[in-house]
Structure 1
Amino acid sequence: MALFSQKNARKQLDEEAGKVNRADLETLLDRQQAIEAKVKGSGKLKRFSADIKLMFSMLRDYWNGSYRDIPWKTIAAVAGALLYVMNPLDFIPDLIVGIGFVDDVGVVALCLKLVESDLHKYAAWKELNDEVTQSTQAD
């Protein structure tokens, strides 16, 4: 049996997402740099760096009210996954060299799979919004 399976990842993600409230978004946004640094230094999680930055961008735009075309369950899943990554003493403690981030990878990968279409919609909105902002500033 695998040390950390997709079933375990779903259970952990569901638990974290079920506990997420709006105050948790503020905590996550305040800890963004620390979480991104952890991801870059983790090896296994590093391949998700761009996705995690996009997740944070989506959470920030949701938080400040500029992007609300997204279900709360997606916001909660993303926040839950990031809160899970933030916790060093999760299912497999991050301190265990070699396997400490296996569970974090599983939770982030599952989250990305579950929210993929909403994340793509957000990325398209963000790109269009950035283009409009740049065009307005150039005038």
Structure 2
Amino acid sequence: MALFSQKNARKQLNAEAEKVSRADLEALLERQRSIEEKVKGSGKLNRFSADIKLMFSMIQDYWNGSYRDVPWKSIAAMAGALLYVMNPLDFIPDLILGIGFVDDVGVVALCLKLVESDLHRYAAWKEYKEELTQTAQAD
């Protein structure tokens, strides 16, 4: 049996997402830089760095009210996954060399699978918004 399966990832993600409150989003956004640094330095999680930045961007836009075309469940899942990554003493403690980030990778990968369509819509919205801003500045 695998050390950390998709079933375990789903269980951990659901547990974290159920605990997320709107106040947790603020705390998460304050820790964004440290989480992104942890991801960069972890090898296994590094391949998700662009996705994690996009998740943070979406949470930030949700938090400040500029993007609300997403269900709370998706915001909670992303926040739960990022809070899980932030916790060094999770299902498999990050301190265990070689396998410490396996559970973090599983939780992030599952989260991305669950919110993929929401992230795609958000990325398209963000790109459109940036194009409008550039057009307005050019005029």
Q: Sort the TM-score into its range (normalised by shorter chain).
A: over 0.9
For structure 2, list consecutive stretches of 5 or more residues without a partner in the other structure. none
Deviation of 1:27 (Å): 0.7
Asked if 1:38 is matched to 2:3, the reply is no
Counterpart Cα distance in 1 of 2:27 and 2:138: 35
Which residue is 2:59 aligned to? 59
What residue in structure 2 maps to residue 128 of structure 1? 128
Matched length = 139
Partner amino acid, structure 1, of 2:67: Y
2:8 aligns to what SS in structure 1?
Answer: helix
Q: Distance in 2 between matches of 1:63 and 1:138?
A: 29
Trace 1:5-20 onto structure 2 (pairs within 5 A).
Answer: 5-20=5-20
Q: For 1:50-69, what per-residue CA distance to the aligned partner results, in whole angstroms no more than 9, with x for missing partners?
A: 00000000000000000000
Matches within 5 A, 1:1-139: 1-139=1-139
Q: TM-score w.r.t. structure 1 length?
A: 0.99
Q: Distance in 2 between matches of 1:17 and 1:24?
A: 11
Computed over aligned residues only, the root mean square deviation of the Cα atoms, in angstroms, reads 0.5
Unaligned runs of 5+ in 1: none
Q: Deviations over 1:25-77 (max 9, x none)?
A: 00111010100000000000000000000000000000000000000000000
Q: Which amino acid aligns with 1:63?
A: W
> Residue 61 of structure 1 aligns to which amino acid in structure 2?
D
TM-score calculated relative to the size of structure 2? 0.99
Could you list the structure 1 runs, at least 4 aligned residues long, displaced by more than 6 angstroms after superposition. Answer: none
Q: Distance in 2 between matches of 1:66 and 1:98?
A: 40
In structure 2, what is the Cα distance between the partners aligned to 1:57 and 1:16?
20
